[in-house]
Amino acid sequence: MATAAQKHIQLALALPARLRTFFARYPHTSILPKAADPETSKTHYQQEAPNPFQSTKHPITGKWHNPKYSLRRQAELVKLARKHHVEELLPYTVKGTEAKLRKRVELGLRVKGTGVGEKVKGHKHERQLVAKMEKRRKAMLEMPDLIREWKKVGRKRWEKWPKSAS
């Protein structure tokens, strides 16, 4: 048991100073000792703001206070925690990987025409491209018959010959 605790201490000391400071101020419940009650063992920082990444409303005045960590600092902490494989120990933030993936699934790429059943308006030549290529494909399939007919009739009589498809 003592070796496991020492191992965890060594891992914690291997973290950068910014992450160590953050986890000292806002420890995750899994970091706290098992005997400790989560409500009574909150740090001063946690009592002041349970989630330092979200705005808090003052209980008496009703005014909203900004989060303790700005969005830029949140993003930096999340990147650092992800690099050291401790991101799941951070409190919820919109800069977290899970939140970003959920938002990407909900909203998609936000590029018009990338959704299911959507079309981009595009230029006229782009819109007419499918019909034009289908007409060209059909003409290529009919080409051997047309060549055979042309060889049978000859060039001079071809201009006078009644055309079936036109």
Q: What is the pLDDT of residues 1-43, one digit of tens each?
A: 567 778 878 888 899 999 999 999 999 888 777 766 767 778 8
Average pLDDT of the segment spanning 44-69 = 93
Place of tokens 């800069």: 95
pLDDT classification of 121: cutoffs 50, 70, 90: confident
CA distances from 84 to 19, 39, 81, 87, 102 (A): 9, 28, 5, 8, 22
pTM value is: 0.61
pLDDT at position 95: 96
Which amino acid, residue 52? P
pLDDT at position 61: 96
